[in-house]
A and B are shown apart, each in its own frame.
Chain A
Amino acid sequence: MKQTLFSATLDNGITLLGEDLPDLESAAVAIHVPAGAVHDGPGRCGLATLSGELCLRGAGERDSRRIVEDLENAGVQWAHSVSATHASFSGAMVARRLPDALPIFADIVRRPRLPPDEFEAARDMVLQGLAGTEDDPAHRTMLALRQIHFPAPWGMPAEGLAAEVERLSCTDVRRFCSTHLLPAGSIIAVAGRIDWPDFVARCTRLFGDWRGDPPPPIAPGPRGPHSRHVPHDAQQTHVAIAWSQPPYRDDTSHEATAALGILGGGSSSRLFTEVRERRGLCYTVSAGYQTHRDFAIAVCYAGTTAARAQETLDVILAEIERLPGTISAEELDRIKARAKSALVMQQESSAARAGSLGRQWYHLGEMRTLAEELARYDRLTVAAVEDWLAAQPAKDLSVVSLGHEALEVPRGVSA
């Protein structure tokens, strides 16, 4: 498949990435600034998220309303998010409106007004989101799992902790933005019906004279306990299990994700078949892969009636243990087919491609073509996946339950 990929680096360290998809009407752009939640600092969990929110409340010549009005009048479907590593601002639009959107995004990351009179509202908005999270049992389960498994501060919730957000001040936000909203390490990815030279020229004008040194890297701290029960009054109990995996940039990450796909990545996977189809234990059960640049995890999740939660956990653990030595060629072929479809179909979405380009650059320092990515899957063999599983058995599992009663985690599962 023919692909037209571009990249360029500005003097200040910003990477520009692009993919031309001339059959689309749309273009999507995503700006990732390395001002993520790992930089929150002790006792300030949620600072990056609150800072990202306040950046939208006035930037450059525009006040809060004008930013939204100008984006939406240009038909920009915009979004912003803060992850552990980045503050991201993105938009998808009819391609000819890209020149309207870029200056707005440039103002947001370079010239946020951070107005003190909007601070309380921004903080209340973040707190409302956190209160909503309290009512989402599956999300809370995953947050607790990441918190115990990842080394601090990588496991802390990017959306914040209410008690710490309440203590944040506008001064905290201003200081954070001045020391973290910086060009070095930033990525601007665009995909769709684009004019690359024009895009580079516009980005050079808008971002080229942005200056500042990157913040020091964050050293990983200690991790949490290996299991945790979160009391929660509801009909269902939620169970999540994690263990370490190679990060995406590791040469063996495709072996790892293939093994996980066989375990719980589709409706013909082991977990779906054994937990849901055979036993009817739950509606939702899956296994997935979550990666940071330097470490990654496998995650299994299920939600089920309290009385059947122990059996659900036991069946999941048995399937994890049964996986090595039992993978069939058909199972691996299905993983390859699913991966190929998903990769090819990304070409129909400018937003999906812009997102993918940015992620690849952050994790790999390069953009892989679809052909390269597909070739990596094609090269996988049952023997290679089995060898990898034999060398990297699932161990030191972290287990979280959320519900009325704690579940019994067998000895030997957790350290």
Chain B
Amino acid sequence: MAFLRERLDNGLEVIAETSAHAVSTSVGFFVNTGSRDETDLLWGTSHFLEHMIFKGTESVSGDEINRRFDAMGASANAYTAEEDTVYYATVLPDRQADAVDLIARMMRPALREEDFSTEKLVILEEIRMYDDQPPFGADDQCRAAFFGDHPLARSVLGTVESITALPVEAMRDYHHRRYAPGTMVLAATGAVDFPALVADARRLCGGWESLPDTARLRPDAPDRAARPGTARIVRPSATLEYGVRMSPGPSERHADRFAAKLLAAVLGDSSGSRLYWALVDSGAAEQATLHHHEFLDAGLFVTQLSCDADAIDAQFERILEIYRDAATRGIAGPEFDQARNKLASRVVLAGERPRRRLFEVGGEWAHARTYRTVAETLGIVESLTRDDVQQVLERWRLDESASVVLAGPAGG
């Protein structure tokens, strides 16, 4: 493994983690933009723009993009989150240049009005699709309740209203501002020819105009739920009731971030955790999990529960008892060891796949300009102690200051 880095004159960062044994190459653009960079009028633009990037440039049509990716045997896609938009392709190493060429050109899309109108229909279908699925919008509504006026409150997809009202000019302006070289990282992992990557980046991206000020909106993120308490979404046709609960946790810059993940594994992993044994193994709930989710300057502990509608209040109370018990009595040595072993194994296994490494390496570099080898991450996980986890339990009380949204047939 080697980590390589180059910065183009216009500010575009080009990085790679090369692996001698990899049989594939993953490349991707990590753009520091997402729903938290939007205003009410631009709500959903980051994600809509991600779709539009696949509709072509002035010289390459959308159909041609699709054909070229398939012709190089690429596994290519993109995703948009609150703070990131990521475009990636995994190819066999001899197609690195083709993949870089295409994905780099795509970053300067035509954003044609006709494509915009057609793709708007697809976005609206995607919104409806998620709205028809568990947890029926409870996750988005819960994040809105937790973050209040902060831009992290905005859902990634936007709403039917915001997408319908969005003009193409607003997207063009957003793209110009947010896809400047200083806000983007070109990352590659696996079997990477780094000199070729840099040369291609210079040729394809070197002419991109750098903007003087691309800093993102950074109002202070709340460290407690803006709107604590429980809200309900009524879906009469749902079979189960779905609950999402968010309480404060460490951000990605906080020293507690790894211990927070270990705590979440002890209490709410999808198997072998306290929530698993109490609620899932017993057949009381379909799902009961706890995750730690981190942003640049905020963090969340997210509890997800699904069970029979008439049992949801009691099951949430049971979960809170488990959180309170952990806070007062701490966690036991064996469950700590088990969770740490589990996390360590996940780090090693995920580290074997260039695609997984791309998200890890590119994401960390785009946010914090830091790089860790798999061994270094493993070292951090293995050095965690019960005291570290105890500190998280004391600093981020899981049983306090939470927003909860329930969705299902109950309707209160």
| CA A134 to CA B286, docked complex, whole Å | 12
Contacts of B121 in A (CB 8 A): 279-281
Cβ of B98 to closest chain A Cβ, rounded Å: 11
Please indicate the chain A residues that have their CB under 8 angstroms from the CB of B216 in the complex.
none
Q: Bound complex: CA of A124 vs CA of B283, how far in Å?
A: 4
Bitwise interface map of B from 305 to 333 toward A, beta carbon under 8 Å scored 1, else 0: 01110000000000000000000000000
Please tell me the size bucket of the interface on B.
35 or more
A132 close to B240 (CB less than 8 A)? yes
Please tell me if B129 contacts chain A, counting CB pairs below 8 Å: yes
Q: How far is the CB of A270 from chain B (nearest CB, A)?
A: 11
Q: How far is the CA of A387 from the CA of B23 in the complex (A)?
A: 35
Query: Once bound together, how far apart are the Cα atoms of A236 and B239, in whole Å?
Result: 17
* Complex partner residue of B281 from A125, A282, A347, CB under 8 angstroms: A125
Q: Tell me whether A334 and B67 are in contact in the complex, defined as CB-CB below 8 angstroms, given that A75-B342, A128-B283, A283-B122 are known contacts.
A: yes
Q: How far is the CB of A23 from chain B (nearest CB, A)?
A: 4
Which residue of B69, B129, B286, B338 has the most chain A CB atoms within 10 A of its CB atom? Answer: B129
CB of A337 within 8 A of CB of B70, answer yes
Nearest CB in chain A: distance from B386 CB, A: 16
Do B345 and A283 touch across chains, with their CB atoms under 8 A apart?
no
Does A341 contact B71, Cβ atoms closer than 8 Å? Answer: no
Given contacts A131-B239, A131-B308, contact A125 B125 (CB under 8 A): no
Q: Which residue of A lies closest to B343 (CB)?
A: A75
Tell whether A356 is near chain B: CB-to-CB under 8 Å: no
Proximity string of chain B (120-144) to chain A, C-beta cutoff 8 Å, 1 when within and 0 when not: 1110111011011110000000000
Is A345 positioned at the interface, with any CB of B under 8 Å from its CB?
A: yes
**Closest beta carbon of chain A to B86's beta carbon, Å:** 17
Q: Report the Cα distance A72→B265, complex, angstroms.
A: 11
| Residues from chain A with Cβ under 8 Å of B126 in the complex | 283
Question: Binding site of A, secondary structure by majority: helix, strand, loop or mixed?
Answer: helix
Residue of A73, A127, A282 with most chain B CB atoms under a 10 A cut-off = A73
Question: Which stretch, A40-48, A62-70, A217-225, A393-401, touches the partner chain B?
Answer: A62-70
Please name all residues of chain A whose beta carbon is closer than 8 Å to the beta carbon of B219 when the two chains form the complex. Answer: none
B31 within 8 A of A: no
B346:A344 contact, CB within 8 angstroms:
no
Q: Is A363 an interface residue (CB 8 A)?
A: no
In the complex the two chains form, is B338's CB within 8 Å of A72's CB?
yes
B residues near A135, Cβ cutoff 8 Å: 133-134, 238-240
A279, B307: Cα distance in complex, Å: 39
Contacts A135-B134, A345-B24 given; indicate if A121 touches B281 (C-beta within 8 A). Answer: yes
Q: Are A348 and B22 CB-contacts (below 8 A) given A305-B128, A341-B73?
A: yes
Whether the Cβ atoms of A340 and B66 lie closer than 8 Å is no
Within the complex, the shortest CB–CB distance from B290 to chain A, in Å, comes to 16
B134 partner residues in chain A, CB cutoff 8 A: 132, 135-136
A232 contacts B by Cβ under 8 Å: yes
The residue of chain A having its C-beta at the shortest distance from the C-beta of B122 within the complex is A280
Q: Is B349 an interface residue (CB 8 A)?
A: yes
Whether B169 is near chain A, meaning CB under 8 Å from some CB there, is: no
Contact among B128, B281, B308, B339 with A235 in the assembled complex (CB-CB below 8 Å)? B128
23 A-B residue pairs with CB within 8 Å: A25-B348, A68-B271, A69-B334, A94-B345, A120-B283, A121-B282, A124-B283, A125-B280, A127-B283, A135-B239, A267-B76, A268-B66, A268-B67, A273-B63, A278-B118, A281-B125, A283-B122, A305-B124, A337-B73, A341-B75, A342-B73, A348-B352, A348-B354
Which 6 A-B residue pairs are closest in the complex by CB-CB distance?
Answer: A124-B283, A75-B345, A280-B121, A341-B73, A337-B73, A23-B21
Interface residues of A (CB under 8 A from B): 23-26, 64-65, 68-69, 72-78, 92-94, 120-129, 131-132, 134-137, 232-236, 266-269, 272-273, 276-284, 303-305, 330, 333-334, 337-342, 344-345, 347-350
